Amino acid sequence: MTPTGIQTQNPPIQRKLRKQNLSPTTRSQRNAGIVLALPWFIGLILFFLIPFFVSLYWSFTNYSILQPGKFVGFSNYVHLFHDATFLKSLLVTFYYTVFSVPLTIIVGVGVSLLLNLKVKGQAIFRTAAFVPSLVPVIAIMILWNWLLSPQIGVVNWLLSLIHVQGPGWFTDQHWAMPAMVLVSLWTGIGGSTVIYLAGLQDVPQDLYDSAEVDGAGVFRRARHVTIPLLTPVIFFQLIMGIIGALQQFNLPYLISGGNGNPNNSLLFYGIYQYQTAFSYLRMGYASAMAWIMFIIILIITAFVFKSQSRWVFYQGAKER
C-alpha cells in the first residue's frame, strides 16, 4: 500500500508555472494545501506519532499510571517470554486468526459472487446480507451468547431436531473458539461483501462475454475470470482481516465477561493487554506487549505483501 501506482495530480499547466518560481497560483495552492491539511498535521503528531514513540519508550520502563517509571532495559520483554498467560493469549489469538480470516474471505467472496448474479430480489438479498454488520457489538454478544446457550439455545434445539447433541459452545473450552469464529463470521460477512461487490463492478463485461463465447460455464468463468480479477480486493481484505483479527478485542471481551474464560480459551491478546494496562496499571509491561504485537503484524504483513506477486493480478499492470 505505498503511494506508488496511485495516480497523482500533475497537470501540464502547473508544471509550466513551477518553472517561473512561485507564481501566484502555485503560492496560493501551497498556502491552501497547508491550511486544509493543518488538522491532520496536528492529528498525525498528537494521536499517532507521539503515542508511537512514547509507547516504545515505556516498553523499556516499569511505568504505571500511579508512579513514574524507571528504565528497566529489556526486562519487560524478557519477562513476557516467561509469562505463561502471555504465551497462552498469543496462541489463542493465532488460533482465531488462522481460522477466521480465511473463512471470512472464502465465504465473503462466495456470497458476493451469488449476490452479483442477476436474479429477482437481488436488492433484498443484498440488504439482508448487510444488516448483521450494522448491529452494535454489544447486541451481537448478547444475542449469540443466548442463541448458542447449551440448554435453552435455539441452535442446539435445531441440532436436536436432526438428532445431534449440540456442544456447550461458549461454556466449553474446546467449543468456545469455534463459536467465536462463527459469530465473527456472521458480523463480518456484510461489511466485506460490500467491498467485494464494489470490486466486482469493475470487472469488464466483455471479458465475461468472450469467456461465454469460448464456452466457459458459470464455475469456470468464476474461477478463471472473476476471481483472478478480484484478487487485488481479496489482497486488501486479507491484510485488513489479519490486522483486525490479531487485534480482536470487543467480542471476546464481552462474551467472556472480560476475563477470557472458560479456562482462558478466549483470552485474546487484546484482553490480556487490556487487563495488564487498566486493571493492574502495568503500563510499561502492556506497552511491551503492544510492541511485540506490532512487530508480529509487521512481519506477517510483509510476508503477505511478498506473496502478492504470486497470486494477485492487477488489471492495469500490463497497460501501464
Partner 1 sequence: MSKSMKTIAYIVLIIIGLFSIFPLLWMISTTLKTNSQVNLVPPVWIPHPFDWKNWIEAVTYIPFPEYFGNTVFVSLLATFGAMLVCPMIAYSFARLRWPGRNIVFALTISVMMLPSTVTMIPLFVEWKTVGLVGTRWPLILGAFFGSPYYIFLLRQFFLGLPNELEDAARVDGLSEYGIYFRVMLPLAVPGVLTVGLFQFMASWGDFMGPLIYLFKPSTYTLSLGIQQFMTQHTVMMQQLMVVGLLTTIPIIVIYFFVQKRFIEGITFTGIKG
Write out the binding residues for partner 1, residues 200-219 only, by CB under 8 A.
201-202, 218
- Give the Cβ contact number of residue 194 at 10 Å: 17
Residue (6 or 84) nearer to partner 1, CB: 6
Q: Measured from the CB of residue 60, what is the shortest distance to partner 1 in angstroms?
A: 14
| Interaction between residue 280 and partner 1 (CB under 8 A) | no
Q: Which stretch binds partner 1 (CB under 8 A): 31-39, 95-103, 203-211, 259-267?
A: 31-39
Q: Give the C-alpha distances (Å, rounded to integers) separating 116 from 215, 222, 247.
A: 21, 11, 31
Q: Measured from the CB of residue 92, what is the shortest distance to partner 1 in angstroms?
A: 15
Q: Measured from the CB of residue 31, what is the shortest distance to partner 1 in angstroms?
A: 8
Q: Measured from the CB of residue 156, what is the shortest distance to partner 1 in angstroms?
A: 9
Q: Give the C-alpha distances (Å, rounded to integers) separating 13 from 18, 25, 26.
A: 9, 10, 11
| Interaction between residue 1 and partner 1 (CB under 8 A) | yes
Structure-block grid coordinates of residue 79: 519477562
Choice from 106, 174, 204, 278 touching partner 1 (CB under 8 A): 278
Residues 143-202 contacting partner 1, CB under 8 A: 143-144, 146-147, 151-152, 154, 157, 186, 189-190, 194-195, 197-199, 201-202
**Rounded-to-integer distance, Cα 36 and Cα 27, Å:** 14
Q: Which stretch binds partner 1 (CB under 8 A): 23-31, 74-82, 91-99, 165-173?
A: 23-31
Q: Measured from the CB of residue 75, what is the shortest distance to partner 1 in angstroms?
A: 18
Residues 57-96 contacting partner 1, CB under 8 A: 58, 65
Residue (73 or 121) nearer to partner 1, CB: 121
Structure-block grid coordinates of residue 153: 439455545
**Rounded-to-integer distance, Cα 232 and Cα 238, Å:** 10
Choice from 42, 66, 162, 213 touching partner 1 (CB under 8 A): 42
Q: Which stretch binds partner 1 (CB under 8 A): 29-37, 68-76, 94-102, 172-180?
A: 29-37
Q: Which stretch binds partner 1 (CB under 8 A): 68-76, 83-91, 94-102, 239-247?
A: 239-247
**Rounded-to-integer distance, Cα 182 and Cα 176, Å:** 10
**CA-based nearest residue to 270, from 280, 262, 260:** 260
| Interaction between residue 106 and partner 1 (CB under 8 A) | no
Choice from 98, 106, 142, 317 touching partner 1 (CB under 8 A): 142
Helical spans, DSSP H, in the chain: 12-19, 24-43, 50-58, 75-80, 84-115, 122-130, 137-147, 154-161, 176-200, 205-213, 218-221, 227-246, 250-255, 269-274, 283-311
**Rounded-to-integer distance, Cα 259 and Cα 47, Å:** 29
- Give the Cβ contact number of residue 282 at 10 Å: 20
Q: Give the torsion sign (CA, 305, 310, 316, 320).
A: positive
State the Cα angle at 66 between 61 and 68, rounded to 5°.
35
Residue (48 or 174) nearer to partner 1, CB: 48
